[in-house]
Every structure is written in C-alpha cells, then in structure tokens.
Structure 1
Amino acid sequence: MPAPKITVIIPTRERCDVLESSLRTVTSQDYDNLEIIVSDNCSTDDTEGVVRRANDQRIRYVKTGKRLNMSHNWEFALSHVREGWVGFIGDDDGLLPESIKTVSNIIETSGVEAIRSTFCTYHWPAIMGNESGQLIVPMGSGIEIREASLWLKKVMRGVAKYPQLPVIYDGGFVSLATLNKVKSKTGAFFASCNPDLYSAVAVSSVIDRYVFMRAPMAVSGVSRHSTGNSSFSTKKNKNTTPVSTFYSESNIPFHGAMPLHEDGSLPISFQAMVYEAYLQSAHLRDASKEFGYRQQLEVILATAGAHRESIERWGRLFATQHGIDFASARRSAAFKRAYLQPLSTSHKIINALHTVFAEDLPIRNIHEACIAAGTIRGRPGKKGTVRFLGRELNRHFRRQGE
C-alpha cells in the first residue's frame, strides 16, 4: 500500500529573506509522496528565485496573479490540492526533521481525519535584537485520541487554548476529505480573516476525533514579518508594519455580531477571535448547542490578559450591540478570571518544567532552529530551562510587589 500523499503549503508574500530557510526545512524531509506548494501572493522580491534555487521536484510554485488578502491566498493555495492530507506553515516557520514520516505513520494507523501536534517556538534574531535567536522546545511525547466536540467546548469555556484543537497550521494536518466537507457547505473552506484559527474551529465542528501529539512536528517562527506578533505584542518598539498591511487589505469581513473598535481594528483577544470563527462556522454545528453572546463576553473579558483595558472598551461595544448589561457581565467575568487565571498559570508552569529554553545557541534562521530542536529533543538538558523559569518567576514576584 503506497504511503499517504501529504501536501505542505507555504503561503508567502515579499518574504524571501525568511522563506529560503523555511522552505529548506520541508525539502529536507525524506518522504517521496510529498508535495510542497509555495503560493506566491504577487511578490516583487526574489521569492521566485528562492523557490527555483531550492531545485526540488516535489515543489509546486503557484502565483495568485493579483494581490489577495491572507485568507484568500490560503484558499487559492488549497484549491491546488487534489488528494491526501494537507498542512500549512508560515514562510518564517519550519518542520522538524522526519516530521512528515511521523505524521504519515499516524495517518496509516490511527483512522482519524485530523492530526495536531505541539510546536516549538523560534524568535528570529531581529525580534530578539541579537545575532542569534531564541528557541523554545517542548519535550513531551506520546499521543492521545481526542473527542473534537469536547475540546471545542473546553476552548469556548476558556479552560483550553485554541492550539489544542486540530489547527491546520504549524504542526497540524487534516485530510482533504474533511476540508471538502466544510467547503461543500459554503463554497470555500476559509470563512474568516483569521484562517489558521478558523481552521481549528471549523474542523472541530465536522469530525468526531483527532490525534493530539505531545511531541512537536513544527517550529513556529516569530519574525519581523509576523502579523500575530505585530498585533498582540505589548512591546513599545514592536514592528507595526505587518498588522498595518493586514488592515490595508480587503479582508473577509469580521462577523457582524462582533463589533470592531472605533478605529476599525479587531479586538486584541484570541478568545474573541475564537468566538468570531465560531460564529462564522455556525452552519457546521447543531444550532441548539451554541454558546451565547453573554457567556462568551464573560470569557473574553476573563481571559483578556495584558490587553485587558482595550478589551473592556471593546466589550462595552459588544454588550451594547447585544443588549447585555456590561457591568453585570464584568462582575461575572471577575469570578471566571478567579479560576481561569490560576489554571492558565499552572499550565504554563507545568509546560515550562517540560520545556528546554535555548537562549545561547548560535541559531540564525528557522532551518537551524529545526535541526537544533531535533537535537535537543534527542539529548535533552534542563539547565537553560531552570534559569529561564527562575528569571520569569522573579519578574512575576517583582511585579506583584509593585
């Protein structure tokens, strides 16, 4: 029986400086039945040259022909897949060595339609202000079969984060049959301006089970091009160009039940983004079991984190639109925060204790990060982790004392 066909899609635009090493992490995969689609969103830099020099017959280079927003570029790339399984990575992300073989083995033995793994994180040198970047490597292992509807409910209640769902991005792979099941009901798969997050909710809405892998298959890169970092970072000197570019595009409109800020910007809350995706994908689920506006407002307020002030301003707009008593919702959110925040903190501490933080290695790009991550997982050491955790706890206690 032939090995499963697996397609890795890399949507890109004007990022040839990071694309080269990202692409190399995929062409380094020792797997014949692999297709690599690079979807060039009308770049004017050396993107085509980078792809040509990679010189790998498994690469399929496609051009959009005109500038598209993020979700439409992802949809365009997906339209070129004809069979098998699909996963996306960003053009500053990468795959760990042998990850496609590992995914293939699980496809052949599990009988599920979606696979999700944890992921490493690599902060590119430009983000760190150093010559080298920072690599964070989770050291977990093993797999579990998860009930999709149960984990979607956990995310909607705020007790789990959306990366725990079968996201099609950075360590996530979904069968084309499942994607087509969603597409058959709407005419397109991606129905939100946040395509990766939307995939997590939409796929969870149409499958029964998925495999969750505690071992990472990908490295998520945080570079000067990262739209998420540009939007969610609290640093004063953050690069705002990626998020400005995002807003300048003709994006899929935010769901009408979710107001925008007065300046037209989106709420800086992953939970709000999750709910937007949930509303956009409502047609995929039983309407009688949906989560309501009041309950979700409370969860969004309770999980606001560093952007709490901004989210409370947005929450007032949401409450007004839906006839919700904001003061009452805010009080209920405080009770939710009282148990959600310690729960989140405990998860972070547990994860940190099972993670290696490599801050001193001379890692210059995502390809080197993927090799280093594979090496660290093969020969783990904990000194860097202990130092990192100690510093973070020290900072936390100092802030508490202020």
Structure 2
Amino acid sequence: MVYLTICIPTRNRQRYAIEAIKAVSACDQADFEVIVADNSDDPAPLRDFFAGFGDSRFRLIGPADRVLSMVDNWERTMAEVGGRWVSFIGDDDHIDPRVVRLLRRYEREYKDVDAVGWSRIHYNWPDNRLHATLAVVPCEHDTYVASKPKLQDRLFTWSERHKRPSCGFGIYHGAVRRSLMEKIKRKCGGRYFEHPTVDFDNSCKTIHLARQLIYCQRPFSVLGACVASNSASTQSLEAMKKLVVDFYSDLGSGMQIQEDDFPFSPKLPGLAVISAIAATSWWYCRTYGVDNTGFQENFAHAAVHECLSSRTLEEYQIKVEGLRSGFAAWQGGAWARHFNPPPFTPPQSFNQLCGVHKDSIYIRESGLEAATPGEFYDFAESFIMPVEHVVSARRAFAA
C-alpha cells in the first residue's frame, strides 16, 4: 500500500533532480512512491536516467506539449497521486521517506489530523555560496498540536509583523492528507492549486480547512538552495532580477500574482518574495471570505523588517522606494504612515560565525564535504534525535 506520495516537480534543473531521486531511493521502505513531474525544455536527461533506474517506487511524468506554469505543473502532479498522504519538495531538496513512520504515529494518536509539519534543515549547494553561508540544523524533537486560530492569525493578518509569516504547515516540505486535498479541490475553484505562489496557496488552504494540524520539531527534510533556485535570489540583486524575468516568462498571460487591489509588485527587485507571499494571503482572504482585520497595519511593519534585511544601500533604496510607492497607492494611502523604515545601516557581519543558537546548529558551509542535500542530511543525523526514538514517542533514553 502506498502511504505517502512524494512529488518532485522540476524544470531545467535535471542534475539536481537526479541527485534528489538518488537520495530518496536509498531508503528501503516500500510504502511510499515518488512522482517526478518534468517540465523541462529537454526531456532527455530525466528520460534517460529513468530508463536505467529500475526502482518501481518512482514514476516520471514527461514534459507536456507546452511549458507549464509552476502551478499547472503542480496541479497535474497532484492528479497522479496514489498515497494516503502527499508531500512536495523542490528538485534541489531532500526528504526522508521514513517520515511515513511519523505520519502513522500521528494518525494513531490524533484521529482528526489532516496536516503534519516538521522542521527543515537549510543547506546551500556548493554552487550557491556567493559569500559566507551557513547550513542550519534544528535540534529539537518535541510534538505540538497547533492552534488553528493562532496559525490563521499569523498567516492571514501577519500578526507577528515579521517579513515572512511563520505558518509551518502545507504540502511543501510538509504532509497533507489526500482527503484534505480533495476537499480543497471541491471548495476552492475545482483545482488543487490556484494561485501562482503555489506553496503559500496551499498553506492558506491547509491552515483554513484542516481539522487538526500536528507539528514535529525534528527535521525530516532539507530545503536545498542551488544557484538556480528561488532561494538563491535572496543572496544577489542580479539573481533576483533574473528570477523575476524567468518566473513571469513561464507564468504566461492567463495568471497574475499581483492583485488589482494590492499594489505591491513582485516584479520589483528585492520585493519579489514578500510581495508574492502577501499577495497570496490577501487574495485568499478576499476570494474565500476570511477575516484578515489588521493585515494592512501589520504588513506595513513587516515591510520595514524587509527593508532592514538589505545587504547594500542600493538594495535598501530599491525596497523602500517600491514599498513606499505601494503604500501610497493602497487604499488611498491609509496605511502609509505605518511604513517608516529607519536609515540604512550596513550589516556588521554576515554568516561569519557558527555554533549553537536558539536550539539550532549553524555550520559554516565552506568546509563541508557533503555535496548534496541528501549527503548533508545523513551528516546531520549524527547530532539530531534518531527517527526511531521520535516515532516511538519515547521520553527517556538509555545511555
């Protein structure tokens, strides 16, 4: 029986996808499947790899007759799912299929669980270390029953006022029960995924519609960032500009990220991430009647934090100008007075130190031998709680 389906959509990053496939295939469990949805211009690399691969747990969906948007590639992937639970990862990421054991435990203990989240390890591929970089490994392992009202407050009103809402649940680097995905399709436009910011589209729907959400502090996946990834764009303004051009080129004319009543353009360099996430939350609340009172003021404060994360004066000025223009045009400028970024202060240092901070280990990547997310996960398992202990729910361990 297929208990978990792991989906890996990919576009023109075949060598990373192949490494992801190899790493997941090293697990000897038989109760999961992997669907690789290739949306690349050249089908040959993955087609040829699968021809000699020979693992029946893995399936390849070849490119369509046209380049698909990300949301459409995810949509066709979800339609092929056979598992009871579903998880999506990027083609430059890694996931431990033994997370199936965690899902089984939580289903036994929490009968209404519809979504499971877990901590993620952060890792930069060797080709994405444009400056000093740190891998981050969370080291806690407790289980929490999430409060839906608090999660919705964070995601729909941005109550934390951070530059990113910390929601922690969704099908991307998390697991969602397939029955919930079918419920989402019934209630949300007849599709599994609607908004182009596809991961946050699902987070909005999962947090809104799930009965119960359970979170494990122990990491079960790796957010890898290769030089061609969305994450890499945060390290360089030029990389961000290229990402935006490529994304909008693939998006096509039938979809838009920016809402007509939300004048913060993800096309502006440096603002692509915060604008896209905020636009998704704003769109979902407006489309499905979710109360997001307080969002406007909270978003203004979050936008200040976005500006303060700038690495250079040029980046800071671009962000401030773009956001200030957006607030001036938004709802008659009613929220502009809440956007008051202080003068730019150059960062004193960045990613120069490694060690333990707030229950995570930070590791300087310049000396790492691990060359892929899968290899780094194997290394990190030497200092995090073993899977067997986490899934058994033991509270004490013999020396």
TM-score (norm 2): 0.79
Aligned pairs for 1:195-344 (under 5 A) are 195-230=198-233, 232-233=234-235, 235=236, 238=239, 241-251=242-252, 252-254=255-257, 255-261=259-265, 264-265=267-268, 268=271, 270-282=273-285, 286-287=289-290, 289-291=291-293, 294-304=296-306, 305-306=309-310, 308-315=316-323, 316-325=325-334, 327-331=336-340
CA distance, structure 2, for counterparts of residue 53 and residue 162 of structure 1: 43
How big is the shift at 1:227? Answer: 1.9
Paired residues of 2:93 and 2:224 also in contact (CA < 8 A):
yes
Asked if 1:354 corresponds to 2:360, the answer is yes
How big is the shift at 1:167? Answer: 2.3
**Residues 239 and 376 (structure 1), Cα distance of their counterparts in 2 relative to 1, 3 Å cut:** farther
The aligned counterpart of 2:124 is 123
CA distance, structure 2, for counterparts of residue 101 and residue 83 of structure 1: 14
Asked if 1:37 corresponds to 2:51, the answer is no
Letter in 2 for 1:191: E
Paired residues of 1:224 and 1:239 also in contact (CA < 8 A):
no
The aligned counterpart of 1:368 is 375
**Residues 267 and 241 (structure 1), Cα distance of their counterparts in 2 relative to 1, 3 Å cut:** closer
CA distance, structure 2, for counterparts of residue 241 and residue 264 of structure 1: 10
Deviations along 1:245-266, whole A, 9 cap, x unmatched?
Answer: 21212353122222254x9447
User: Percentage identity across aligned positions?
Assistant: 19
CA distance, structure 1, for counterparts of residue 145 and residue 181 of structure 2: 20
Paired residues of 1:22 and 1:92 also in contact (CA < 8 A):
yes
The aligned counterpart of 1:183 is 185
Paired residues of 2:185 and 2:192 also in contact (CA < 8 A):
yes
CA distance, structure 2, for counterparts of residue 22 and residue 206 of structure 1: 31
RMSD of Structure 2 on Structure 1 (CA):
3.1
Asked if 1:87 corresponds to 2:87, the answer is yes
**Residues 271 and 25 (structure 1), Cα distance of their counterparts in 2 relative to 1, 3 Å cut:** same
CA distance, structure 2, for counterparts of residue 266 and residue 144 of structure 1: 37
- Which SS does the other structure have where 2:56 is aligned? coil
Asked if 1:59 corresponds to 2:58, the answer is yes
CA distance, structure 1, for counterparts of residue 180 and residue 287 of structure 2: 12
TM-score (norm 1): 0.78
The structure that is helix-richer by fraction is 1
- Which SS does the other structure have where 1:201 is aligned? helix
The aligned counterpart of 1:48 is 47
The aligned counterpart of 2:104 is 104
Letter in 2 for 1:128: R
Paired residues of 1:69 and 1:250 also in contact (CA < 8 A):
yes
Paired residues of 2:127 and 2:226 also in contact (CA < 8 A):
yes
- Which SS does the other structure have where 2:135 is aligned? strand
Letter in 2 for 1:104: R
Deviations along 1:23-68, whole A, 9 cap, x unmatched?
Answer: 1222223332211100011441512223333321011211241211
Structure 2 unaligned regions, length at least 5: 343-354, 387-399
- Which SS does the other structure have where 1:355 is aligned? strand
Which moved further from structure 2: 360-369 or 269-278? 269-278
